[in-house]
Amino acid sequence: MSENEDICPAPIIFTMIGGKWKLSILKALIFKGTMRFGALRREIDGITQTMLTQQLRALEADGLVERQIFPEVPPRVEYSVTDDGKALKPVFEAMHKWWLEQKR
């Protein structure tokens, strides 16, 4: 095993997708597709505009979400998951399956 394989990735992963809002944002974009800011905010109950902006910027910085600006008047901005973000879909599905099994 190499030195890099000995490092536990959990803290890094939790930093990237943890917290109250990041999972909700990723879930919406992974399962519902590309969304504009307002639609995404309506999709996530209780999130403020400021918090959504901060979390989207963090997810974008980590390469999980991309922001596309369209040169229109008024400007249109859409958010979608990157290929790295799409790779989390099986993780969400596994968490959902686990949750259903715990409810029994």
Q: Which domain holds residue 17?
A: 3-103
Q: Read off the pTM.
A: 0.86
Q: Which residues of 45-54 are buried (b: 16+ CB within 10 A; e: fewer)?
A: eebeeebbee
> Would you say residue 6 has pLDDT above 60?
yes
The two tokens of residue 98 are 């686990």
Give the integer Cα–Cα distance in Å for 2 and 76.
46
Tens digits of residue pLDDT in 34-59: 999 999 999 999 999 999 999 999 99
Total residues found in the chain within this entry = 104
Instruction: Return the CA Rg of the chain.
Output: 16
Give the integer Cα–Cα distance in Å for 22 and 16.
8
> Would you say residue 64 has pLDDT above 90?
yes
Confidence of residue 3 (pLDDT cuts 50, 70, 90): low
Query: Average pLDDT in the 18-25 region?
Result: 93
What CATH number is given to the structural domain containing 29?
A: 1.10.10.10
- What is the structure's pLDDT at 9? 85
Domain count along the chain: 1
**82: number of Cβ within 10 Å:** 15
